[in-house]
Amino acid sequence: MAASTYLNRLPIKKLPITTVPVPLVIHGLVGFFLLYIIFDWGRKFLNFLSQSQKTTKSKDLGEAFDVFDENRDGFIDEMELQRVMCALGLTEAAELENCRKMILAFDQNGDGKIDFGEFVEMI
């Protein structure tokens, strides 16, 4: 008898039965909606991060490519590679024969020059 009196004092017991499911449904919907917002925001944030990293990376690579491509024709030839190797103090690598070999190693389409796509692969 004492236990049921205690239960009767709980507010949930005093609510009419018809009103109980409505707050539960609303609570569930709000919870789901919040979860959806959080996950959606997280997904967008990750997208943004990977995109900005990609942009920064290709921008950096573009700047690096411009350092090599002195005459701005969109290709790195052996003379340009040699110039950069000299500037870096890599005298052995700066020998024209070695520069030619390096270009051959990364020259995928066989035109004897490194274009931006081949340069990105090289890096």
Which residue lies nearer to Ca ion by CB, 83 or 88?
A: 83
Q: Quick check: 91 binds Ca ion (CB under 5 A)? A: no
Q: Quick check: 78 binds Ca ion (CB under 5 A)? A: no
SS (H, E, C) 22-86: HHHHHHHHHHHHHHHHHHHHHHHHHHHHHHHHHHHHHHHHHHHHHHHCCCCCCEECHHHHHHHHH
Which residue lies nearer to Ca ion by CB, 56 or 108?
A: 108
Which residue lies nearer to Ca ion by CB, 23 or 74?
A: 74
Which residue lies nearer to Ca ion by CB, 4 or 109?
A: 109
Closest separation between CB of residue 29 and Ca ion, Å?
58
Measured distance CA(110)–CA(103) in Å, rounded: 10
Residue of the chain from 40, 60, 66, 111 that contacts Ca ion (CB under 5 A)? 111
Q: Quick check: 109 binds Ca ion (CB under 5 A)? A: yes
User: Can you give the binding site for Ca ion, defined by CB under 5 A?
Assistant: 69, 71, 73, 75, 107, 109, 111
